[in-house]
Structure 1
Amino acid sequence: MSVKGIQPIVSEYHLLWEALQHYQERLEKFSSMSTDEDQQLKYDEKLQDMDGLLRSIKLAAKNDYQLDLK
């Protein structure tokens, strides 16, 4: 993330991490509450993308600042 793009500072990593976790929780809630299979599939696809994004951010924070995001 920081190699070619932006290089967030520590506080920005924390803010981004918290915001993405909050969004992930909302997607999980919407997915579980949805009665429409197509809509549920869209939520689940976004959740898969979110998992990859969270892993990327966690790795970048570790590489840039030895920061362990949880």
Structure 2
Amino acid sequence: NGFSDLLTGMVAEVDNQQKAADTAIQEVHAGGAKNLPEAMIAMEQADISIRFMVQVRNKAMEAYQEIMRMQV
């Protein structure tokens, strides 16, 4: 199923970006502020990905609800 595969891939990518942000934050804690810009960028990328995924979910739910309201 194409849509299912697309959503699965999106969730995996969001998870990967969140893990990258977590790793970057841990590196900043371990090594001081030298990696701070990269950590901040990774955190922003993860945040944007999560926000996008939430919007996709919201739109999918709206579409589902609209379909359920249709009379056959």
Q: TM-score, normalization: structure 2?
A: 0.52
Answer whether contact 2:28 2:36 (CA < 8 A) is retained: yes
Tell me the amino acid that sits aligned with residue 24 of structure 2: L
Higher helix fraction: Structure 1 or Structure 2? Answer: 2
Q: Map Cα deviations across residues 15-49 of structure 1 (whole Å, 9 max, x no partner).
A: 223222222221221222222x3422332233123
Distance 1:48 1:10, change over 3 A: closer
Displacement over 6 Å in runs of 4+: none
Return the alpha-carbon distance in structure 2 between the equivalents of residues 10 and 46 of structure 1.
22
Match of 1:25 in 2: 22
Q: What's the % identity of the aligned pairs?
A: 5
The whole-number CA distance in structure 2 between the counterparts of 1:18 and 1:39 is 21
Which residue of 2 is the match for residue 34 of structure 1?
A: 31
Count of matched residue pairs:
58
RMSD: 2.5
TM-score normalized by structure 1? Answer: 0.53
Output one character per residue of 1:30-69: Cα deviation in whole Å (capped at 9) or x when no partner. 222222x342233223312321232122212332x33xxx
1:11 partner letter: T
Larger radius of gyration: 2
Unaligned stretches of 5+ in structure 1?
A: 1-6
Q: 1:61 to 1:23 in 2, by over 3 A?
A: farther
Unaligned runs of 5+ in 2: 62-72
